[in-house]
Amino acid sequence: VDVHGLTVHIQLFNGKFFYCTDKTKRFAYQCHGQFFIFDNQNEPPRVEQREWRLRPFNYDNTINAMLTLFVVTTGEGWPGIRQNSMDTTFEDQGPSPFYRVEVSSGFMESLFSYAYP
């Protein structure tokens, strides 16, 4: 993992890999209280606590960014990280599907440049 790629990814994605466990809430300030989960029609709904969580692979600090880029360069698990990156919006705002599609091309470039130097 090179320092330039690491710095760029940290600047682009720092603080943007958070999400609410209740998918109907998009902002951190909305993500509190409880919500219902309807798993099965034959069972009563479950009550869960809303939590503002950080995805396991993220760019919030240098160590996490290095680990995330390592996963991308090894070719294992990179599609999920790419999808999470494309869904990023702003700090304190949850993901929005395909909000930043242009990120996908950068991931493909990183994947091939790191995997096949």
**36 and 69 belong to one structural domain:** no
Under a CB-based contact definition with an 8 Å cutoff, are residues 31 and 93 in contact?
no
Confidence at residue 41, expressed as pLDDT on a 0 to 100 scale: 85
What's the pLDDT at 95?
Answer: 97
Helix (H) or strand (E) holding 112: helix 103-115
- Identify whether residues 106 and 96 lie together within a single domain: yes
- Domain identity same for 78 and 111: yes
Residues 11 and 45 in one domain: no
pLDDT for 76: 83
Count of domains forming the chain: 2
Domain range for residue 74? 1-17+55-117
45 & 79 share domain = no
Q: What is the pLDDT along the chain (117 residues), one digit of tens a residue?
A: 578 778 888 999 999 999 999 999 999 999 999 999 998 888 999 999 999 999 999 999 999 999 998 888 887 888 899 999 999 999 999 999 999 999 888 777 777 776 666
Q: Which residue's structure tokens are 């809430």?
A: 25
